[in-house]
Amino acid sequence: MRKISYVQAINEALHQVIERDKQIFIIGQGVTSPWYVGTTTVGLIDRFGQERIIDTPVSENTVTGAAIGAALAEMRPIVVHPRMDFMYYALDQIANHAATWHYMFGGQLSVPLTIWGIINRGGEQAAQHSQALQAIFTHIPGLKVVMPSNPYDAKGLLVASIKDDNPVVYIDDRWLYEYVGDVPEEIYTVPIGKGVIRRKGKDVTVVAISYMVNEAIKASEVLEKEGLNVEVLDLRSLKPLDENLLLDSVKKTGRLIIADGGWKTCGIGAEISAKIAESNIFKELKAPIIRVSLLDVPAPASSVLEKAYYRKAEDIVSAVRKNLEV
């Protein structure tokens, strides 16, 4: 199959869906800029013009609200936030409006909206330019949340998010943009709510999301040389969460490590741990669950601190060894 990068996969998905469906438009900061959203939106403005490729002033709350309003008027907007940190300004519109609208009016209305938030961190950008807020959105009823870890899913989940009749928070990570992988040229979807086993194993389950999936695969390669057989489960969707896949894998291995790029407290790892704790599989665990996640600390600037702050493959390797007591 043809290989392209993660960022090209997003760009291709946008070109294809916007061309095919007149209801779709994209709105947000930097969609016409040469650097703001990486190269995810390259070529869109030349092809589709300002009516459907709308670069905006710095007004996150209103722009998001406007996208919700357009969704209520038979459009299927994609609202982009070039960094998740800036989405706090839009949180009211996302949580109080987009997320509630279907339920609060007894199912009369729905908000077919893709809320695209980009994680952009590292490079000494510090606390307000680094955040990975998947846990916050996953907490809110009425939002679906997806996080693709590779080019195939980047395209397929974006198309699925756009086709979904509900608000979907689509979260990508700039650290993944140059990853290359197989991507079909035609339009396809990856089902929301389905995880996937990236690597089969029997000794320990590593549940990973987004960027941490690749780190988990690297870790599993290191551990394989030591004779350890790691199963890597890529969750892909945080909500709905593929509980069956999770329980089956942990039942098989009896051991669980969760690798997430967000903060630890009340993070995705906490939710997954609780799911296991509430299930029958809990008593089959052979060792305590370990979460590999960020310290409960705002992102620091200095690169020496960043290096200690962000989690990488070696942290997963250590967690697996600790779990297996090897």
Partner 1 sequence: MKRTDINIPSEVLRRVYETMLRVRKIEERVAELVSKKEIKCPVHLYIGQEAVATGVCANLQRDDYVFSTHRSHGHYIAKGGNIKSLMAELYGKETGCSRGRGGSMHLASPEVGLPGSSAIVAGTIPLAVGAALAFSIQKRNAVSVVFFGDGAVNEGTFYESLNFASLKKLPVIFICENNLYSTHMPISDCLANTDIYKKADIFNMPGIRIDGNGVVEIYKAAKEAVDNARKGGGPILIECMTYRWRGHVGPNDDIDKGLRSQEELDCWMNRCPIKRLEKNLLKDGILSESERIQVYKEIEKEVEDALLFAKESPYPDPNEDKFYNGVFKS
As a residue count, the chain comes to 326
By beta-carbon proximity to ligand TPP, the closer residue of 87 and 289 is 87
Footprint on residues 46-65 left by ligand TPP (CB under 6 A): 58, 60
Q: Which of these segments, 85-93, 100-108, 135-143, 203-211, binds partner 1 (CB under 8 A)?
A: 85-93
> Is omega for the bond preceding 34 within 30 degrees of 0, making it cis?
no
By beta-carbon proximity to ligand TPP, the closer residue of 126 and 247 is 126
Cα 324 to Cα 168, 231, 293, distances in angstroms: 37, 14, 19
Min dist CB 117 to partner 1, Å, is 15
Footprint on residues 266-325 left by partner 1 (CB under 8 A): 295-298, 300-305, 307-309
Which of partner 1, ligand TPP, none is residue 302 near (CB under 5 to 8 Å by kind)?
Answer: partner 1
28-67 mask for partner 1 (x: CB under 8 A)? -xx-xxxxx------------------x-xxxxxx-----
**Residue 167 and residue 111 in contact, taking contact as beta carbons nearer than 8 Å:** yes
What DSSP character marks residue 169? E
By beta-carbon proximity to ligand TPP, the closer residue of 87 and 143 is 87
| Nearest alpha carbon to residue 229 among 262, 209, 203, 192 | 203
DSSP 89-133: GGHIIIIIIITTHHHHTTTS-----EEEEEE---TT--TTS----
By beta-carbon proximity to ligand TPP, the closer residue of 85 and 203 is 85
| Nearest alpha carbon to residue 6 among 174, 144, 133 | 174
Which two structure tokens, joined as six digits, stand for 217? 């695969």
Rounded to 5°, the CA angle 291-292-295 comes to: 100
How many binding residues for partner 1 (CB under 8 A)? 38
By beta-carbon proximity to ligand TPP, the closer residue of 64 and 205 is 64
| Nearest alpha carbon to residue 38 among 245, 179, 140, 142 | 179
Which of ligand TPP, partner 1, none is residue 297 near (CB under 5 to 8 Å by kind)?
Answer: partner 1
**Residue 203 and residue 228 in contact, taking contact as beta carbons nearer than 8 Å:** yes
123-152 mask for partner 1 (x: CB under 8 A)? xxxxxxx-----------------------
Min dist CB 214 to ligand TPP, Å, is 27
Rounded to 5°, the CA angle 269-81-242 comes to: 30
Which of partner 1, ligand TPP, none is residue 109 near (CB under 5 to 8 Å by kind)?
Answer: none
Min dist CB 53 to partner 1, Å, is 13
| Nearest alpha carbon to residue 210 among 174, 159, 161 | 174
Q: What are the residue numbers of the active site?
A: 60, 129
| Nearest alpha carbon to residue 29 among 1, 6, 58, 2 | 58
d(CA 275, CA 154): 26
Out of 42, 55, 69, 89, point to the residue binding ligand TPP (CB under 6 A): 89
Q: What is the maximum alpha-carbon separation in the chain?
A: 59
Min dist CB 29 to partner 1, Å, is 8
Which of ligand TPP, partner 1, none is residue 124 near (CB under 5 to 8 Å by kind)?
Answer: partner 1
By beta-carbon proximity to partner 1, the closer residue of 126 and 222 is 126
Out of 25, 86, 101, 211, point to the residue binding ligand TPP (CB under 6 A): 86
Residues of the shown chain interacting with ligand TPP in the complex, contacts defined by CB under 6 A: 29, 58, 60, 86, 89
Residues of the shown chain interacting with partner 1 in the complex, contacts defined by CB under 8 A: 29-30, 32-36, 55, 57-62, 85-86, 88-89, 123-129, 295-298, 300-305, 307-309
